[in-house]
A = this chain, B = another copy of it.
């Protein structure tokens, strides 16, 4: 491999700028071979029945258990470094906890997850359109894998196992890049996955991992081998990837969700939905960040909602009217928890116990504010009116439009998909929580059984020409 020759040039003999070029060059050589192998593995797997993929997942689960000692040892090494970073104030304690595979039940859950994915319905081979174009000429639209996925994620090392399982189940090859904090752990996890693949009939290069940002950068240029990039991490990570590749990107940068309290909102309902949307898991992308309140509620429902939020430890960032409507008694009791908003407040994803609050005059104004400020993730209305709920659902251009339900329901498991690849705020392919269906596309298979084959020259408007039949075919599987 050329790459090995390149990196063997002794560093001291070249000037540093050239060394950087060499590093880039060697990353390029290495990842091109890697991406080429991924594509070849994907193509080879297309000729295998999907039951092979199910079996491979069960072998991988077994292989993980067999190698639990070495994986958990590597994890403890990562944790030691992380602890040093926490002590030095370079890492948060919750982040360290997310790295820890040794927490009670976490290992078992990770391995069981692989077996669970194996048992999900196969998303490939499903017919979504079948038509007889002519006698003995049948067209089938059949779901199939997308190809090679590049998945980039941060922190939690078990994601490598989770994503590998989803890719294998849906018939996609994958290249995975985890966070640098868990490098030792993901390396050991990847070894176990590769060993499992070697024991199966799938190519061992079906799932591969890379470790460095330089490798990711080089991979983002390889649109001839990689079909879809799925970033799971910070806004910055996602934006950076979107700006630096021609490959389609599926994911979400922001999760700026809204709850709108309509003039007829029931009080108990409103308090429950707003508080749950904010406090159930404040750092999640489906937590509410902005509360819109109909002006008529400022001196009634808003007082109740504000009290409940303040009691739950939420800081309120209010416009002038919502702020001055808070009774003096409540304001005095929470002097540091109520502040004035500015326009930027309504474009901020707090990911914290903070909530921007804005007064609006109508449902139309609420819809307009949401469409211009939302990240098109999930937005909720609280209302007693079926017609206004329906108008909100149609008028708000988001992946999730909810009536009287917490924004936190926007989740693949809660929706019943059994698993979740991620949440997409894009407008094509897959939107909202993405299950296995988001990892497949379709192809058209057309088969002539005519003795002379089928040509288009025989069809047309003229005399002696054939006409297309376009008769639906009732089938759930390709009959060949």
- A residues contacting B by CB (< 8 A) are 42-43, 46-47, 131, 133, 137, 139, 146-147, 227-228, 242-243, 246, 248, 250, 266, 268-270, 272-273, 275-277, 280, 367-368, 371, 382, 386, 389-391, 393-395, 397-406, 408-410, 414-416, 426-429, 431-433, 441-457, 459, 468, 470, 478, 480
Contacts and interface: CB of A to CB of B under 8 A. Distances in A.
B442 A403 contact: no
B147 A427 contact: yes
A397 B147 contact: yes
A43 B397 contact: yes
Max count, chain B CB within 10 A of own CB: residue among A275, A432, A451, A453: A453
Contacts of A442: 431
Contact of A242 (B246, B446, B450): B246
B398 A443 contact: yes
Contacts of A428: 146, 227-228, 248, 250, 428-429, 441
B250 A453 contact: no
A35 to B, nearest CB: 13
Contact of A429 (B403, B429, B480): B429
- Assembly stoichiometry (copies): 2
15 contacts: A43-B371, A46-B395, A133-B416, A227-B428, A228-B428, A276-B455, A400-B443, A404-B449, A404-B450, A406-B453, A406-B455, A406-B457, A409-B454, A427-B441, A432-B443
A416 B447 contact: no
A406 B456 contact: yes
Looking at chain A's contact residues, the main secondary structure is mixed
Contact of A453 (B228, B248, B382, B410): B382
A241 to B, nearest CB: 10
A414 B445 contact: no
A410 B139 CA distance: 10
B386 A456 contact: no
Contacts of A386: 480
A390 to B, nearest CB: 5
B444 A280 contact: no
A318 to B, nearest CB: 23
Contacts of A395: 43, 46-47
Contacts of A457: 276, 280, 406
A414 B243 CA distance: 38
A94 B440 CA distance: 40
Given A139-B415, A268-B452, A456-B408, A394 B47 contact: yes
